[in-house]
Amino acid sequence: MNQNSKMEKLVSLCKRRGFIFQSAEKYGGLQGFWDFGPLGVELKNNLKKSWWQRFVQERNDIVGLDSSIITNPTVWEKSGHVQGFSDKLIECKDCNRRFKDADLDGSEPGPLKCPYCHSEKITKAKDFNTMFKTFVGPVEDSSATAYLRPETAQNIFVNFENIRQATRLKVPFGIAQIGKAFRNEITPGNFIFRSREFEQMEIEYFVEPKNDERWFEKWVVESHQWFIDLGIKKENLRLYKQPKSELAHYSKATTDIEYNFPFSAKGGEKGWAELMGIANRTDFDLKAHDFIYKDENNQEFVPYVIEPSAGVDRAMLAILLDAYEEIKGGRTTTTESNKEVEVVLRLHKSLAPYKVAVLPLSKKEQLSKPALEIYQNLQKHFMTAYDEISSIGRRYRRQDEIGTPYCVTVDFESLEDKKVTVRDRDTMGQDRVEIGDLMEYLDEKLTE
């Protein structure tokens, strides 16, 4: 399948089936802002739950934080964001579009050109601060200026001492946070890959300076493995060690985990773009906020920080792209193929919005009544769908294209033998299961 075509089809599926909508589409939308529908919010929550369980719940050296989106602006002055959190802005004098210097068309020898109209009449690059500015209180003047946070990290740093004292944790330890961040991107695009409002999953892991390189490599390995464990194909992931020319001013080393997206991005060949970054931020941040750590031997030092940082939205896009599969002619082997294209979203079971769907073979009350009873019982334990409209084959395909791992069919035989048919999304294999054993069966299958 053509990669660009795959992206277009995925965007269409996301809207049609309720994963992602353009924000305020009724009024023309707003570029760089997205709304997550019924299935999108479930997938997003499952992704965040997986990350939190892996890196907070299952560890004894990392604790959580949920900090405010707007904070004292001194935080952003100390961190350098007010002075230097900017992109290079260029304007085309012919089409009047604005874009980042990284977007310039340099595909042919000669002068750089506008990426939209290919004109050579472009302005010199100038700094554009990408923080969203607002005002706190009833007066709109410089004394009331504040910012929507452009990252979650700084709120972690300024809470370093509060959390250390409250938890009695000793270096090495980490603080994790999942939350919204806002950047006034010059050129948002590629669906939810680059947005102006997005969600981050970040850990700031504090270590002794002498151990920074060991912990850095450890976090690269652990972060990479997490994506693989979520079902992303190994061949679609790679590690990119940023050269010194690309490193942020605070970074001693940064390794990006890249995914083979169906578009190109700065810093890599076509198809590869950053999915997550692991940075050795040295002692830059804690020094900026004037923190010193004293160990059990009364030795004072400023901890180095290893930062594994992932975007929820970007990870969600990679997971959807990786799971999307089209089968020409469909997968049915019991009847002659009608050459239609069947879509299967092979999401990891832990991420699937619905874990199971209950499908009565007929809408007749003698089947819908016991099917609804099963549905209501399963709802207490799993996100469960119920569908009694259209043929059973069409309903199976509807569940396949939203990634539901198992479908439970209640048929006329169920009235006699008290059993249901459970169909597997990936293999299409079917098991006949006692209704009384259904919960245990599904629980075992979903945790395999």
Residue type, 91: E
> Residue 76: which residues within 8 A CB-CB, separation 6 or more?
82, 85, 131, 147, 154
pLDDT for the residue 258: 96
**By the 8 A CB rule, do 382 and 422 touch?**
no
Give 354-446's CATH code, choosing from 2.60.40.420, 2.60.40.10, 3.40.50.800, 3.40.50.280: 3.40.50.800
Listed residue (384, 430, 396, 387) closest to 327, CA to CA: 396
Strand 86-91 to 98-100 pairing: antiparallel
Rounded Cα distance between 69 and 71, Å, is 7
pLDDT for the residue 224: 98
pLDDT for the residue 338: 59
pLDDT for the residue 335: 54
User: Domain map of the chain by residue range?
Assistant: 3-73+133-321, 86-129, 354-446
The CA-based dihedral angle spanning residues 138, 139, 140, 143, taken in that order and rounded to the nearest 10 degrees? -120
Length of the chain: 448
Listed residue (414, 417, 423) closest to 442, CA to CA: 423
Rounded Cα distance between 311 and 69, Å, is 16
Rounded Cα distance between 96 and 103, Å, is 15
Kindly list the averaged pLDDT for each block of 10 residues, start to end, along the chain of length 448: 82 97 97 97 98 98 98 95 85 88 71 87 88 95 94 97 97 98 93 97 98 98 98 97 94 97 65 95 97 95 98 98 92 64 96 98 95 98 97 96 98 97 97 98 95
**By the 8 A CB rule, do 155 and 65 touch?**
yes
DSSP string, 81-139: HHHH-EEEEEEBTTT--EEEGGG-B-SSSSS-B-TTT--S-BPPPEEEE-PPEEE-SS-
Farthest CA pair distance, the chain: 78
Residue type, 104: L
Listed residue (230, 274, 283) closest to 255, CA to CA: 274
> Residue 194: which residues within 8 A CB-CB, separation 6 or more?
32, 185, 187, 188
* Rounded (10°) angle between helices 312-323 and 38-52: 110
pLDDT for the residue 333: 65
What element of type H or E holds 393?
helix 392-400
CATH number of this structure's domain 3-73+133-321: 3.30.930.10
What is the pTM (predicted TM-score) of this model?
A: 0.92
Q: How many CB atoms lie within 10 A of CB 285?
A: 26
**In 248-356, where does DSSP find H-type helix?**
284-288, 312-323
